[in-house]
Amino acid sequence: MLRLDYEHILPFVDPDQLERRLGDAREAHRLLIEKAGPGGDATGWRDLLIQPDEALLQDIEETAGRIREEADILVCIGIGGSYLGAEAVIQALSPSLGRNEGSPEILFAGHHMGGAYLQELLEYLHGKSVFVNVISKSGRTLEPAIAFRCVRKHLERHFDDAGQRIIVTTDPEKGALNTLCATNEYKKYVIPSDVGGRFSVLTPVGLLPVAVAGTDIRALFEGAAATLVRLASPKDNPALLYAAIRSLLLQQGLCIDLLSVFEPALSAFGRWWQQLFGESEGKNGTGLFPCVAQYSTDLHSIGQYVQDGKRSLMETFLMVERTGSDLTVPAGAEGEAKNLDGLDYLSGRSMEAINRAAWEGTAQAHADGGVPNMTLWMAEISPTCLGEAIYFFEHAVSISGHLLHVNPFDQPGVEAYKKAMFTRLGKP
C-alpha cells in the first residue's frame, strides 16, 4: 500500500493554509468522482477499473501469448502516452541487463524523428521474427506514422504473413489505421474514446506490450483498481494531500516539481509521470514544471543546483520499501591494501540500507537548503504496486488540474509545434 511521508513539507507551509487547500482538494475530488468538472467526459480510465472487461483482458493475454511464442522482437510504435506507460512498467519489471526469460525483445519506435535510430532499427530487424504493435488514435501523428510506414515495408518484404504480425491499437472508428485494418485484416484493439493517451496505460495501449514482456497484467490492473477503491473517499486520502501540497507550494511561488527516484528501474516511470503532470497541469500560464532525476547519479550533476540554486523548486521522492536485493558490501583486502578505499565501515552492510541512508540524507539536506520535499513509498517494485502508483498519480493530477481551474484531460498546446513544423515541411 502506498504511503506519503510529508515531514519535510511541514516547515514550509502554514497548517491553516494547508487545511484550507485540503478543503479545496476535497471539492476537486468530488468533481472528478461525479464527472462534474472540465473534461468530465474523459474519465473512462476510472470506469474501466470499476467495470473490468474480462473478455478484453483474456484476449490481450492470448494475443500476447502468441507473440511470445513466435516473435524474437516486438516493435511498439507510438509517442507520448502511446508508449511511455508501457515502457515504464516494462523497464521496472524487467532485468536491467537482458530481458525476461521466454519474452521477445521489446523495442520502441515512432517516439522521435531520429533517422539514424530508425535506420539502425530496420537493419537490426533483419533475420529476426518481428511483430509490430502500432498505437495511434489518428494514425497520422507524424513520428509514429513515419516509423510504421518504414517498419511495415520491412515486414511486407520479409514475411509472407506480414498482416498477421501487425497489431493495431487505435480509435474505435475513425483514423487512418482503421482503414488499414479493414483492407488488411490486422488484429485491432480499441483506445477508448473517453481515455486520453497519458491515462491509457491500463487499456490495450499499455497492457498488450506489458503482457508480451511477461508481466502479470491482472495484478497490475487489480493494484490500480484496489487503489481506486481506497481513494474513493476524501477522508485520509494521500492523493488529495499530495495534490493540495503541490498546489499550495505553487501558490507560494514555486514553479518546478522534481520527481527523484533512487531505483534505476523507476527511471522510465518518472518519464511517464512527467508527461502525465506536464500535459495535465501546464495550461493558462500555470502549473508546476515536472522534471525527473535519477539519484544518486544526478546528485553528481544537478545536485549542486538543487541544494544551492534558485529556490524555485519542490521535490517528490518515489521510494521503494523492499527492493529484493540482498547484496552486501564485501570485506576489504588484507595487508598493505587494507581499507585503502576507506570502506571498511560499510563491510557487511546491505546496498538497500546504504541507498536508504542516501535518501534520508538527501531529503534532509534538501529541506535544510530550502527545498520542500515529500516521499511517496511503494512497498516493492511489482505489478500490483506499480498499478497502485499509476492510479495514485492519475487521481492526484486530476484533482490538481481542477485546483488550477484547468481541464486536466486535454492538451491544446501540443498542436502549436505541429502547425509550425508542418508549415515548414509543406504539408498540404
Average pLDDT over residues 328-352: 87
Predicted confidence at residue 339, as pLDDT, reads: 86
Same domain, 93 and 142: yes
Decide: helix, strand or coil at residue 28.
helix
Predicted confidence at residue 336, as pLDDT, reads: 66
Q: Answer yes or no: are the C-beta atoms of 266 and 92 closer than 8 Å.
A: yes
137 assigned to active site: no
Same domain, 174 and 276: no
Q: Report pLDDT digits (tens) over 2-35.
A: 999 999 999 999 999 999 999 999 999 999 999 9
Same domain, 227 and 363: yes
The 8-class DSSP code of residue 152 comes to: H
Same domain, 197 and 260: no
Q: Answer yes or no: are the C-beta atoms of 248 and 13 closer than 8 Å.
A: yes
Average pLDDT over residues 297-314: 97
Q: Report pLDDT digits (tens) over 123-166.
A: 999 999 999 999 999 888 999 999 999 999 999 999 999 999 99
Residue 254 lies inside a defined structural domain of this protein: yes
Percent helix / strand / coil, the chain, rounded to 5: 55, 15, 35
Domain housing 356: 3-36+222-403
Same domain, 189 and 267: no
Q: In whole numbers, what is the pLDDT of the chain averaged over residues?
A: 95
Predicted confidence at residue 337, as pLDDT, reads: 76
Same domain, 85 and 152: yes
Catalytic residue from among 153, 174, 418, 427:
418
Catalytic residue from among 300, 310, 415, 419:
300
- Residue 218 CA to residue 341 CA, distance in Å, equals 47
Domain end: 169, 190, 215, which one? 215
Q: What is the DSSP string of 385-407?
A: HHHHHHHHHHHHHHHHHHHTTS-
Domain of 154, CATH number, reads: 3.40.50.10490
Same domain, 318 and 383: yes
Number of domains in the chain: 2
Polymer length in residues for the chain: 428
Residue 376 lies inside a defined structural domain of this protein: yes
Predicted confidence at residue 419, as pLDDT, reads: 86
In single-letter form, the type of residue at position 383 comes to P
- Residue 317 CA to residue 263 CA, distance in Å, equals 11
Predicted confidence at residue 17, as pLDDT, reads: 97
Same domain, 356 and 251: yes
Q: Answer yes or no: are the C-beta atoms of 154 and 130 closer than 8 Å.
A: yes
- Residue 242 CA to residue 222 CA, distance in Å, equals 22
Domain end: 215, 249, 277, which one? 215
- Residue 401 CA to residue 407 CA, distance in Å, equals 6
Residue 277 lies inside a defined structural domain of this protein: yes
pLDDT confidence bin for 334, thresholds 50/70/90: confident
Same domain, 284 and 162: no
Catalytic residue from among 263, 279, 315, 388:
279
What pTM was computed for the model? 0.96
279 assigned to active site: yes
415 assigned to active site: no
